[in-house]
Amino acid sequence: MSHPINKEMGDLDKAAIGKLWSPVDAVFMEAMEELIVVDIDGWKDSSGVAREIEFFKERGRPVSLWSEVETQFQSI
């Protein structure tokens, strides 16, 4: 959701950008039932992804990797 904006703010500190978006992301995550992480290069190093995974796990909501569930979406 915020990644295109983050690219435009590329000269700023990534942690500072994350703090700006954290409250916005929380509103969306609160409304979501499940998190599907797109497991591309670098996803394990992302503090934002780690925060999102923790958010969902703390609430007992499912967290999946795209590579594990993508076949469920091929007929859509």
Share of the chain above pLDDT 90, in %: 55
Domains and CATH numbers, the chain: 3-73 (3.40.50.10400)
Average of per-residue pLDDT across 32-56: 93
Confidence at residue 4, expressed as pLDDT on a 0 to 100 scale: 61
Mean model confidence pLDDT for the chain: 86
72 half-sphere exposure, CB direction, 13 A CA radius: 7
Residue pair 9/17 in contact (Cβ under 8 Å)? The answer is: yes
Task: Work out the pLDDT band at 10, boundaries 50, 70, 90.
Answer: low
pLDDT at 46 over 90: no
